[in-house]
């Protein structure tokens, strides 16, 4: 089996494992990110992550934590296949000879290149997911609490009707601002930790536990490095097309900072970090095991 095919298959399996473990955390993150800023006499809908979980389960049942999962699940094969195969092709370009291990900085370059490719899939996918996840958080009255979208395809139809096909790519700038440096950090940290745990460049003998540790910590490093760009992306993607609150990514950044301070740029940070470690630990383990089994 060729390297590209192995990366496609392994990336798909890793992505599915990551999604199943991490989606409930992601739902809470988006709800916290997208709820309106508190005003005098109008407290926030959710006081924190656990309150968001309780309210979601009480009003929608446990399945509410998996709202918006249909689109990521349907596209996870393409998303992770692109990410890992693009990274694999970048690795091939940077290797001095076939099979030669890469340095940490070279893996960072590979992650950066993979981030460019995956942004074009991430933006429309996450726009649909975020609008589904956020609709209950955005409700500020009984009239507004009526569910607007019946499902992922309904979101896509509404968006295309209101803003055309380009509307699906709303938030592309902050998506790329997240994916390019974020994936450079993820793959650089992942390789660095593997080499540290292996005591050298040859990491082929690492245990499952070591791979999960490296994967989990590399996932956490992603959010530590780029989290504010994800908040900006989420608020832009759930913004109204006809009467937008934000005119650009910079405008969204400034308004969040002005109304809520730095902490506004870290809304939902707890659930994101809680999700990143187990989800990425499972993702990288599944990727490595699948790729090894296909060799």
Map out the domains of the chain as residue ranges: 3-293
Per-residue pLDDT band for 70 (boundaries 50, 70, 90) equals confident
Tell me the torsion sign for CA atoms 29, 133, 65, 136: positive
Q: What is the pLDDT of residues 76-106, one digit of tens each?
A: 777 888 899 999 999 999 998 887 889 999 9
Q: What is the pLDDT of residues 216-253, one digit of tens each?
A: 999 999 999 999 999 999 999 999 898 899 999 999 99
What are the angstrom distances between the C-alpha of 84 and each of 48, 133, 230, 268, 277?
Answer: 34, 27, 21, 27, 19
Q: How far apart are CA 116 and CA 196, in angstroms?
A: 28
Residue 208: is its pLDDT beyond 80?
yes
Mean pLDDT of 46-62: 90
Residue recorded with tokens 């998996």: 66
Provide, rounded to the nearest whole percent, the portion of the chain with pLDDT above 70.
94
Per-residue pLDDT band for 139 (boundaries 50, 70, 90) equals low
pTM above 0.75, yes or no: yes
Q: Which fold has domain 3-293?
A: Mitochondrial carrier fold (1.50.40)
Per-residue pLDDT band for 32 (boundaries 50, 70, 90) equals confident
Per-residue pLDDT band for 137 (boundaries 50, 70, 90) equals low
Question: Counting runs of H as helices and runs of E as strands, what totals does the chain give?
Answer: 9, 0
Q: Lowest mean pLDDT: which of 43-47, 152-156, 214-218?
A: 43-47
> Are 34 and 137 a contacting pair, CB within 8 Å?
yes
Mean pLDDT of 26-31: 84
């Amino acid at each position: 089996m060729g390297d590209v095919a192995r990366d496609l298959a392994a990336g798909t399996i890793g992505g599915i494992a990551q999604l199943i473990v991490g989606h409930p955390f992601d739902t809470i993150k988006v709800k916290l990110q997208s709820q309106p800023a508190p005003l005098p006499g109008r407290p926030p809908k959710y006081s924190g992550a656990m309150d968001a979980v309780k309210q979601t389960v009480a009003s929608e049942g446990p399945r509410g934590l998996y709202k918006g999962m249909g689109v990521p699940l349907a596209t996870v094969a393409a998303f992770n296949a692109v990410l890992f195969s693009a990274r694999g092709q970048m690795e091939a370009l940077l290797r001095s000879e076939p099979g030669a291990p890469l340095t940490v900085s070279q893996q960072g370059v590979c992650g950066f290149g993979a981030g460019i490719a995956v942004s074009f899939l991430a933006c429309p996918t996450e726009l649909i997911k975020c609008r589904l996840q956020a609709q209950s958080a955005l409700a500020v009255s009984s009239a507004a609490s009526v569910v607007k979208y019946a499902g992922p395809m309904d979101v896509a139809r509404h968006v295309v009707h209101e803003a055309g096909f380009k509307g699906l790519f709303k938030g592309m700038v902050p998506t790329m601002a997240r994916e390019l440096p974020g994936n450079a950090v993820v793959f650089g940290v992942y390789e660095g930790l593997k080499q540290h745990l292996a005591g050298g460049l040859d990491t082929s003998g690492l245990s499952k536990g070591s791979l999960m540790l490296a994967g989990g910590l590399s996932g956490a490093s992603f959010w530590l490095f780029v989290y504010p760009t994800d908040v900006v992306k989420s608020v832009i993607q759930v913004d109204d097309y006809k009467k937008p609150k934000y005119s650009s990514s910079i405008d969204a950044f400034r308004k969040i900072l002005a109304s809520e301070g730095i902490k506004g740029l870290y809304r939902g940070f707890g659930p994101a970090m809680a999700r990143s470690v187990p989800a990425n630990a499972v993702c990288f383990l599944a990727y490595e095991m699948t790729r090894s089994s296909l060799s």
